[in-house]
């Protein structure tokens, strides 16, 4: 009986120990699970903690009160914030930042009833001539000045032709030089300059007779212009029977007679686009020949100045005539895309030629250290020729 009780007590003691161990094991497991859950909760919350303001302690994001909804503009006051849990410090509310309005992107097709804004015009603005100065340059240095022309069409145009030839016949010392037997042999620069002026006047007289003073192909030629052109075609080196001076002086007289017809209304000068295009086309043809001689590499040192001053004589007539054309034909130029801008650029380049006056015309290589004045003169004249090609196609 005692043995049985001992065994019973022993079994009971073992049972108690087993229960104790089991309880401890369960307690340890519960403790571990609790610690693990707390760590996991902290690990998830540490990236969402909001710092308290004014000394407030950090509050887990999970325990923060929900942000009050922002009232829409014009839709009533903002509702009060939700009550914070008891014992939890809440930072003061952050003032709402107004949300900028986003401008809506216009649709490809405007809504019905909405008139779209007119598209901007892409027509080039017509620029008028700059205010002029007193030394051939406009105020501000934007180009040469423009002349005041007569209200009677063509009067200033013909007067300019007369002045150009009269200057070479009577205004220059010793007058016309190319036919001088003695003095003319030593003034080849002036000789060739006068030949260039004469050639340009011939081309201008052709257009004045054929198109500028005729309404159409059925209109008659003016007899004074026919005689003037015939006399201008006489040889520039003729000494007598007839002499060049007498022929050209008589041609100028016929131009003066035609000028009186314009002033009295017996003849007319027509500002037409087609007549302007023909004049520019004739000037372009003559200038193309000039450009060729200015870049000819076979021209020697002793002949280089001859081509230089011949080109300057032609350019001088172009400069004076086209300034008159720029004013008289302004409505026709303005009606053409960039017509005024192109003509202004032509006159500007011709003004550059007017200012070129070297003491000695040199004929150096294009890549040498000595100047090549023919090439220097050809640069603006080539631009003029190019612009004239453009204008003759308008």
At 63-116, the pLDDT tens digits run 444 444 444 444 444 444 445 444 444 445 544 444 444 444 444 444 444 444
Question: Domain locations in the chain?
Answer: 151-270, 271-394
- Residue 346 reports pLDDT greater than 90: yes
- Phi first, then psi: give them for residue 262, nearest 5 degrees: -65, -45
Q: What is the model's pLDDT at position 301?
A: 87
Q: How confident is the model at residue 366 (pLDDT cuts 50, 70, 90)?
A: confident
Region 122-134: mean pLDDT is: 36
Nearest C-alpha neighbor of 297 from the set 370, 364, 360, 386: 364
CA distance 318 to 250: 23
Mean pLDDT over 179-199 rounds to 94
d(C-alpha 346, C-alpha 325), whole Å:
12
The pLDDT of 124-128, averaged and rounded, is: 35
pLDDT at 18: 58
Three-state DSSP state, 381 = helix
Burial of 117 (0-12, 13-18, 19+ CB in 10 A): exposed
CA 204 to chain centre: 33
Evaluate if residue 384 carries a pLDDT over 60: yes
Please report which confidence band the pLDDT of residue 176 belongs to, taking 50, 70 and 90 as the band edges.
very high
Query: How far apart are the C-alpha atoms of 15 and 8, rounded to whole Å?
Result: 10
Report d(CA 129, CA 60) in Å as an integer.
77
CA-to-CA distance for 244 and 230, rounded, in angstroms?
A: 12
Q: In a 10 Å sphere around its CB, with 0-12 CB exposed, 13-18 middle and 19+ buried, how is residue 139 labelled?
A: exposed
Helices (H), 51-177: 155-166
Residue 178 confidence (pLDDT) above 70: yes
Check whether the bond before 242 is cis (ω within 30° of 0): yes
Quick one: how many helices (H) and strands (E) in the chain?
10, 0
At residue 310's C-alpha, the angle toward residues 387 and 178, to 5°, is 150
């Amino acid at each position: 009986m005692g043995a049985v009780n001992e065994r019973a007590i022993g079994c009971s003691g073992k049972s108690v120990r087993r229960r104790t161990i089991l309880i401890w094991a369960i307690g340890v497991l519960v403790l571990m699970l609790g610690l693990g859950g707390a760590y996991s909760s902290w690990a998830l919350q540490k990236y969402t903690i909001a710092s308290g303001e004014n000394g407030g302690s950090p509050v887990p994001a999970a325990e923060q009160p929900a942000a009050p909804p922002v009232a829409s503009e014009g839709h009533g006051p903002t509702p009060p914030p939700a009550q914070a849990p008891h014992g939890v410090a809440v930072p003061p509310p952050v003032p709402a930042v107004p949300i900028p309005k986003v401008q809506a992107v216009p649709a490809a097709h405007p809504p019905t009833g909405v008139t779209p804004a007119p598209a901007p015009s892409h027509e080039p603005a017509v620029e008028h001539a700059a205010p002029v100065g007193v030394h051939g340059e406009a105020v501000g240095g934007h180009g040469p000045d423009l002349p005041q022309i007569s209200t009677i069409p063509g009067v200033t145009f013909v007067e300019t032709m007369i002045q150009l030839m009269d200057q070479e016949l009577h205004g220059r010392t010793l007058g016309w030089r190319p036919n001088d037997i003695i003095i003319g042999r030593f003034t080849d620069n002036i000789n060739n300059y006068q030949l260039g002026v004469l050639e340009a006047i011939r081309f201008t007289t052709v257009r004045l007779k054929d198109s500028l003073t005729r309404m159409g192909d059925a209109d008659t030629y003016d007899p004074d212009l026919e005689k003037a052109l015939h006399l201008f075609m006489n040889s520039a080196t003729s000494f007598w029977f007839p002499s060049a001076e007498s022929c050209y002086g008589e041609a100028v007289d016929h131009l003066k007679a035609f000028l009186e017809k314009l002033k009295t209304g017996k003849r007319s000068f027509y500002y037409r686009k087609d007549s302007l295009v023909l004049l520019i086309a004739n000037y372009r043809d003559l200038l193309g020949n000039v450009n060729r001689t200015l870049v000819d590499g076979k021209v020697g040192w002793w002949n280089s100045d001859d081509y230089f001053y011949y080109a300057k004589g032609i350019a001088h007539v172009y400069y004076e005539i086209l300034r008159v054309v720029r004013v008289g034909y302004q409505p026709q130029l303005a009606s053409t895309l960039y017509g005024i801008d192109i003509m202004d650029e032509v006159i500007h380049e011709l003004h550059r030629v007017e200012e070129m006056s070297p003491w000695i015309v040199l004929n150096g290589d294009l890549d040498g250290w000595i100047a090549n004045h023919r090439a220097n003169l050809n640069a603006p004249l080539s631009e003029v020729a190019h612009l004239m090609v453009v204008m003759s196609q308008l």
